[in-house]
Structures are given as structure tokens and as C-alpha cells.
């Protein structure tokens, strides 16, 4: 589904060129992604009645006047973001399947603590541009978008925070551009060398068998997109419940023997209609349904289709360390934590300024939503000590 703003963007990314490239080349190259945007080529919006591409670039949120919406040009795309507060800049990157709204609680908490909090819709999501070219969703595309966002904010540096795949983007942006990011906060996904923590193409070592497949392999398939588009409300409701602490406590005994992150090949994947977990209301779910009705799932799922390409592009970062202050938070019931258990205690080796990790009891995957107050308080404490 095309984005309502109807823009194609981004120049083809260069190959990593192998590990012979210097760290300086990596840093300069990442900056060029933001500064060297090409002329955008329009694409046709496929749905009627969506946003006017010639509409306002900034507007107040009619439901929450404290929030200001903007559409900015960065790295050749139009990026929608929501902002609250003034002071040092903190950029908040969402995961899948979310949007800026997943940070709704922390936006206010950070603003009240004296920070300028900005939560964008990442490319392919919500009101940001959704590119038809599925190859334009590599990790360097996302990093270029966020570096460009710092430029549009008229500041030299920001703190970058991310959840889920947004944390992967945040970790690697912090590693590649310490000149633009002065600290990093990762939720759910820990820091992993070369983004994905493997020495070979990541998808070649993701587990699968006759009964189940690793979730990232499944999300890269056409079947995943078709299935999720059939009933967006049911898709989102199911994911929010089953991947939360509440859902994991009520897990189907038939799936108990599956390794973390595995999805049954046959059965009721995303086909049930569970209750809403306690941390999200029907009205809040409606916001997500509206945003994914606007964008569709093509852009969001394209991250998973580019995992191997992203790993190749990060080859020049092999062995490099995150040199800025860092904080890691996750729920003890998060399947991502279970699937990456080996990387969490190893983070300090390549993140020397990492603060003591915060593991939240009873919390599942949706960290900043399930434990909104705890996450906001920990972020503020970390930021105030920088």
C-alpha cells in the first residue's frame, strides 16, 4: 500500500565494500545518507480519502494539545513525528508493529522532566512515507533517516532510544555516529555485533523445523503480509496480547515446547481474538488500527526482508564498540530477551559505558507500554546523570 503522501525516496545504498573500509569512512558514509537525499519520485496513493500531501507540515494534536505533529524531510523521505517539551533532544524509535504512539506515555514524562521528546513514525509506518521499493528498508536507510532528523531539529546531538527493531537501529546509530548521538537507550533488543550477532548471513542460522519457524523468517514471507492485512485489528490485538507478560502467562500449553521466538507452521497464528491486555484500551488499539490502515504492512515487514542485506552493509562495523553512555531495559517475560539470552551479559564487552541493565519482572515484549512509569522514570534518571 502506498503512503498517502505519495513519495518515493532514497538513493540506492552502496555495498559495504568489506571490512577493509575504515571507521572514518563508515561515519562519513552514514552522514551522507542523511545529507545526500536525491530528488523524490512520486508514487501513486492506492487508497482514497487519505491525507492530503499538500496539507500542513505542523499541527497541534486535537486530542492532546500538548503534542505537536510535524512532517519533515529527511534522507529523501517525508517523516512524520510527534514532539513534546523543550530542552535536550531525545529521539524515540518504535518497534514492530507499532508507531510513534507506543511512546505516548514517555513523551509526556520526558517533557515534564525538561526534555524535548520526539517520536517519529519510521519509514513505512503511519504517516511517514511508505516506499514501494522493498529494498529501501535496510538498517542504513533507517539510520540515515534518524541522522537527518537530528539535522532538521537544529541541534548538534541527541540521545537516541529504541524498542524492538528500533533498538537495533538505535544501537547501530550510536556505534556509527557518536558525533550526533551522545547517549543510547535500548529496550528489548540488546546490542549485538554487526546488528544481528552472527558471523554469517543471519537468516541462514535462524532455527526452523517441520513444526515451527523463527518469527523473523515468517515475517519476511508474502504469507505474513497477506495474513496480517486480512484483519488488521485482529492481527494487532493478537500480537499485543500474546507477546505481553499477560499473554505469556496464559500461553497455550501446546506451544510450551517451542523455543523462544518460534512460530508454529500450522495452527492459529494471529487467527484468534484474545482479550486486550491491561496496559492498552480499546481506544488506544483504535489508534494503531487507524495507522496500519493508513500504511499497510508492506513497509513494516520490509525490515525483515532486508535482514541479510543489512548485515552485509554493517560488515565494516565488525568488532567496533559503542563508546557513548548506554542503558538497556527489558521485561523478564520478553521472548526477544529469551531468544538473545547469550548477548545480554556480553553487552558490556562492546558497550563499555553501559549502565546496569534494568530487567522488569512480569513484563513481556511491549516494554514502554507495559511498564510505562518504570521505563519513563529509568530514562529520566539516566538522562539527568549524563
d(CA 231, CA 338) in angstroms, rounded, equals: 29
d(CA 234, CA 252) in angstroms, rounded, equals: 18
Segment holding 226, helix H or strand E: helix 222-230
- Of residues 51 and 64, more confidently modeled: 64
Averaged pLDDT, 340-367:
94
| Beta strand 68-74 pairing with 58-60 | antiparallel
Kindly compute the dihedral angle of the four CA atoms of residues 231, 236, 242, 243, in this order, to the nearest 10 degrees. Answer: 150
d(CA 102, CA 369) in angstroms, rounded, equals: 6
The residues annotated with a catalytic role in the active site are 164, 365
Mark residue 46 as left, alpha or beta (left: phi above 0; alpha: psi -120 to 50; beta: remaining): alpha
- What's the pLDDT tens digit per position in 271-290? 678 899 999 999 999 999 99
Residue 26 has pLDDT above 70, yes or no: no
The answer to whether the CB of 247 falls within 8 A of the CB of 274 is: yes
Range in 52-61, 123-132, 224-233, 361-370 with the lowest mean pLDDT: 52-61
Residue 15 has pLDDT above 90, yes or no: no
The answer to whether the CB of 101 falls within 8 A of the CB of 63 is: no
- Longest Cα separation, the chain: 53
Mark residue 188 as left, alpha or beta (left: phi above 0; alpha: psi -120 to 50; beta: remaining): left
Residue 46 has pLDDT above 50, yes or no: no
- What's the pLDDT tens digit per position in 222-267? 999 999 999 999 999 999 999 999 987 655 555 556 788 888 876 5
- What's the pLDDT tens digit per position in 300-334? 999 999 999 999 999 999 999 999 999 999 999 99
d(CA 307, CA 262) in angstroms, rounded, equals: 17
Burial 262-296 (b: 16+ CB within 10 A, else e): bbeeeeebbeeebeebebbeeeeeebbbebbebbb
d(CA 225, CA 219) in angstroms, rounded, equals: 7
d(CA 330, CA 188) in angstroms, rounded, equals: 5
Burial 310-324 (b: 16+ CB within 10 A, else e): bbebbbbbeebebeb
Segment holding 235, helix H or strand E: helix 232-242
CB atoms within 10 A of CB 66: 13
**Dihedral sign from CA coordinates of 350, 355, 356, 362:** negative
User: Who contacts 39 (Cβ-Cβ below 8 Å, separation ≥6)?
Assistant: none
**Dihedral sign from CA coordinates of 101, 301, 285, 70:** positive
Residue 21 has pLDDT above 70, yes or no: no
Model confidence, pTM: 0.86
Whose CA is closest to 156, among 208, 73, 96, 89?
A: 89
Whose CA is closest to 91, among 19, 4, 184?
A: 184
- Please report, rounded to a whole number, the percentage of residues in the chain having pLDDT higher than 90: 73
What DSSP character marks residue 87? S
DSSP secondary structure string for all residues of 307-353: HHHHHHHGGGGTT----S-EEEEEETT-HHHHHTTTTTTTHHHH-TT
User: Who contacts 340 (Cβ-Cβ below 8 Å, separation ≥6)?
Assistant: 189, 190, 192, 197
DSSP secondary structure string for all residues of 100-129: GGGGHHHHHHHHHTT-EEEEEPPTTSTTS-
pLDDT at res. 294: 95
| Beta strand 116-120 pairing with 77-84 | antiparallel
Amino acid at each position: 500500500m502506498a503512503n498517502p503522501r505519495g513519495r518515493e525516496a532514497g538513493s540506492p545504498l552502496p555495498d559495504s565494500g568489506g571490512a577493509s573500509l575504515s571507521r572514518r569512512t563508515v561515519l562519513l558514509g552514514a552522514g551522507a545518507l542523511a545529507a545526500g537525499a536525491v530528488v523524490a519520485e512520486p508514487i501513486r496513493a492506492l487508497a482514497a480519502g487519505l491525507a492530503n500531501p499538500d496539507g500542513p507540515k505542523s499541527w497541534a494534536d486535537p486530542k492532546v494539545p500538548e503534542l505537536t505533529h510535524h512532517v519533515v524531510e529527511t534522507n529523501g523521505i517525508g517523516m512524520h513525528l510527534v514532539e513534546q517539551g523543550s530542552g535536550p533532544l531525545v529521539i524515540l524509535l518504535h518497534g514492530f508493529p507499532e508507531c510513534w504512539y507506543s511512546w505516548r506515555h514517555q513523551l509526556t514524562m520526558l517533557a515534564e522532566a525538561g526534555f524535548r521528546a520526539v517520536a517519529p513514525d519510521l519509514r513505512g509506518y503511519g504517516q511517514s512515507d511508505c516506499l514501494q521499493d522493498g529494498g529501501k528498508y535496510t538498517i542504513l536507510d533507517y539510520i540515515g533517516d534518524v541522522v537527518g532528523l537530528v539535522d532538521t531539529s537544529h541541534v548538534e546531538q541527541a540521545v537516541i532510544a529504541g524498542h524492538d527493531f528500533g533498538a537495533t537501529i538505535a544501537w547501530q546509530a550510536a556505534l556509527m555516529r557518536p558525533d550526533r548521538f551522545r547517549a543510547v537507550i535500548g529496550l528489548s533488543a540488546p546490542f549485538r555485533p554487526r546488528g544481528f550477532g552472527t558471523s554469517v548471513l543471519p537468516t541462514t542460522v535462524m532455527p526452523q523445523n517441520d513444526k515451527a519457524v523463527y518469527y523473523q523468517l515468517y515475517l519476511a514471507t508474502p504469507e505474513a503480509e497477506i495474513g496480517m492485512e486480512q484483519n488488521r485489528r485482529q492481527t494487532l490485538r493478537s500480537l499485543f496480547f500474546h507477546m505481553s507478560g499477560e499473554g505469556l502467562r496464559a500461553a497455550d500449553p501446546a506451544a510450551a515446547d517451542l523455543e523462544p521466538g518460534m512460530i508454529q507452521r500450522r495452527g492459529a497464528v494471529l487467527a484468534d481474538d484474545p482479550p486486550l491486555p491491561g496496559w492498552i484500551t480499546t481506544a488506544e488499539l483504535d489508534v494503531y488500527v487507524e495507522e496500519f490502515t493508513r500504511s499497510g504492512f508492506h513497509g513494516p515487514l520490509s525490515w525483515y526482508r532486508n535482514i541479510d542485506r543489512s548485515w552485509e552493509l554493517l560488515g565494516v562495523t565488525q568488532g567496533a564498540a559503542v563508546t557513548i553512555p548506554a542503558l538497556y531495559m527489558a521485561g523478564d517475560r520478553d521472548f526477544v530477551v529469551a531468544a538473545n539470552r547469550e548477548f545480554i551479559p556480553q553487552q558490556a564487552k562492546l558497550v563499555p559505558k553501559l549502565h546496569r541493565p534494568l530487567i522488569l519482572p512480569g513484563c513481556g515484549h511491549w516494554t514502554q507500554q507495559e511498564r510505562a512509569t518504570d521505563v519513563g522514570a529509568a530514562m529520566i534518571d539516566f538522562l539527568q546523570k549524563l
